[in-house]
Structure 1
Amino acid sequence: MDTRTAIVLLHCFLFAVLVQSAPVGPGSDPPPAFGEAAERAKVLLEKILKDLPAVHAITVNAEGLTFDPSAHTTNLQMMVRSLGIPASPVIKPLSERFTLDMCVSRMMAGCRLYQELLGVLSKRLSGLQDLRVDLRDLLTHITKMKEVARLGGDSSDQDPDLDLLLSCLHGNYDVQVAVHLTLTQLRSFCHDLIRSLRAISRAAGMH
């Protein structure tokens, strides 16, 4: 084998390795397992949204803390800040600035956030465990999406410190307010996830 042939073969080999290891991008078709995991995530999100009103009903009975989406609590943001409840990761439409890698990473960060929040609140109030299990399963599906598509991570997402929340829950009313705010934020986050998963499916040509 002469030198030129060896170089050509080496280039072909390297190109094949790069193509095989390249992550899913806007112009490439994701593997079937990606769509399957996304569909399972959507089904579970719909279940979570259906179950949230019942979870709220059995855990929150303080006057004025209604789960009606049309109800507006004027001091909602003030209560969020005073109790130290972290905001949901922001999920944006896919673009050059907000890539699929970033989107899926934010989804995972949000699932972890609400798992941890519910874990903290479960120490003070019962009735949240089933929802926490559903969020664990949801995180599994979204993690599968990331793995099969060989996506990177968003290094800006870090797990929040929830010690402040525990220290602020002085009585039963504070706990119920924290549960109310957490479930309300979780509902909005789940709606964002469903919209994003549908957009990802359309962009990838999946049903």
Structure 2
Amino acid sequence: MDTWTVIILLQYFLFASLVQSAPVGLPSNLPPAFRETAVEAKTLGDKILKDISATHAATVKAFSLDSSASSLQLMAASMRIPSSPVLKAPSEHFTLETCVSHMLAGVQMYQNLLEVLSSKVIGLDDLRADLRDLLNHINKLKEVAQLTVDVSDQNLSTDLASHLQDSHNVQVALQLTLTQLRSFCHDLNRTFKVLSINRP
């Protein structure tokens, strides 16, 4: 292999690595504090996933964490338990502002749901505290990146309390909330991983 071929190949791989280190949709001028906060948020997200498993084991007796009956999904609609906001890595069609907005809206929504459930169930305080800390990290991402994000209209209210009249409904609501929160946290962590990638 001659020298020019080696140089061309090295340039190709260097260019490819640079492209990978700057995901499409992320501004190139984000300060180092943004990446650091994303790393911290992902660490907290990992802790929340463990806490969800522990909380489920301590509070839900009627279902396993991996139960996925279609009847439960029907009950989610009847009990007015909203779905998680769509969350994916920033791109030219899903901006960083939209991404952070959906993060904030989702965490606030689950805070609201757990607050309602905590009036019926003991053992949700640690998870609620973790979500509060996560919300602070996401707000720091917003501030560091100087994003204009308003989630006041996305902070979905719920009348879940009116459906928690018996223990079965409480168990169903807990199951749906914790399983949806787990899925949302997996999406959050995938997104935090993208946000924490080193940029040139």
Task: Tell me the distance in 2 between the aligned counterparts of 1:127 and 1:152.
Answer: 35
2:167 matched to 1:172? Answer: yes
Seq. identity, %: 55
Q: Do 1:56 and 1:183's aligned partners in 2 also have CA atoms closer than 8 Å? A: yes
Task: Flag the 1:139–1:27 CA change in 2: closer, same or farther, 3 A.
Answer: closer
- Which of the pair has more CA radius of gyration? 1
Letter in 1 for 2:79: L
Q: Secondary structure at the residue paired with 1:136?
A: helix
Alignment match of 1:151 (pick from 138, 147, 153): 147
1:45 to partner: Cα distance = 0.4
Task: Could you list the structure 1 runs, at least 4 aligned residues long, displaced by more than 6 angstroms after superposition.
Answer: none
Q: Deviations over 1:58-85 (max 9, x none)?
A: 11112xx1113xx431212101101110
Distance 1:110 1:154 in 2: 13
Q: How does 1:38-187 map to 2 (within 5 A)?
A: 38-62=38-62, 65-68=63-66, 71-153=67-149, 158-162=154-158, 164-187=159-182
CA distance in 1 between counterparts of 2:26 and 2:65 reads: 38
- Per-residue Cα deviation, 1:113-161 (whole angstroms, up to 9, x for no partner): 1111100000111100110000000000010010011012256951112
The TM-score, its normalising length taken from structure 1, stands at 0.80
Are the structure 2 counterparts of residues 27 and 137 from structure 1 closer, same or farther at C-alpha, using a change threshold of 3 Å? Answer: closer
Q: How many residues align?
A: 176
- Structure 2's unaligned 5+ residue stretches are 1-24
Residues 191 and 102 of structure 1, relative CA distance in 2, 3 Å threshold = same
User: RMSD value over aligned CA atoms?
Assistant: 1.8
Greater relative CO, 1 or 2 (CA 8 Å, sep 6+): 2
2:11 is aligned to none
- Match of 2:135, SS? helix
- In the alignment, the residues of structure 1 paired with residue 92 and residue 144 of structure 2 have an alpha-carbon distance, to the nearest angstrom, of 21
1:29 aligns with 2:23: no
2:135, 2:26 → 1: CA distance? Answer: 23
The answer for the alignment partner of 1:6 in structure 2 is none
